[in-house]
Amino acid sequence: MDVKTVTARDELQSSLSPSVSEVTPSHSEIHILIGVTGSVAALKLPLLVSSLQQIPGLKIQIVSTEKAKHFYNMQDIAVPLYSDQDEWKMWNMRTDPVLHIELRRWAHLMLLAPLDANTLGKISNGICDNLLTCVVRAWDLNKPLLFCPAMNTAMWNHPITEQQISQLCHFGYTEIPCISKRLVCGDEGLGAMAEVSTILKKVKEVLENQLLAL
């Protein structure tokens, strides 16, 4: 095992906190895990992070799919960000922490923003073939998970989309509905991710109602 791998593991273990079951109402920190997928709406990730950071006592970490990385600049992200390669960097033997399990323990709330059509299909069918979908598959259903669909209007209008959204809601997840606007591709209609201000408002509402925070 090389020095870089040991350092990465140590940093992970120092950044992750006790599970939500150990958090009491007097706790001053709330942990949000943002999952970002390969929609052009991932361009808004820096704005989403900075907006959420307005909430006092909030700590943020991010899980990104590889495709999502095409849409934002890593240098604009000032919080810990993990992707598929980190899962295996930090695990070499049976006693090592498993990243997707440690992240789901650390987080009090998960926010999928944006949730693209591909990852929506995976999650609704229980597929877990990358770090983000493994976190979701292992997610504690007693903790809130919010999702913000984002896709082309033609994808949104496909009959399977409604079924998949309904399946996620059946799991107990909360939809922050997409909106209608002119998309980057030039089409106009439903499919755009909710505005960051709307997402922020919903997160605050869930924190106040479910996590006794703020």
Report the catalytic residues.
185
Q: At what angle do helices 45-52 and 196-210 cross, to 10 degrees?
A: 40
Tell me which residue of 132, 119, 116 sits closest to 192, measured CA to CA: 116
- Contact predicate 32/58, CB 8 Å: yes
Given the structure tokens 């990730």, which residue do they identify? Answer: 45
- Contact predicate 174/141, CB 8 Å: no
3-state secondary structure of 45: helix
Tell me which residue of 209, 200, 69 sits closest to 131, measured CA to CA: 69
Residues 6+ apart with CB under 8 A from 112: 34, 35, 36, 37, 119, 136, 145, 146, 147, 148
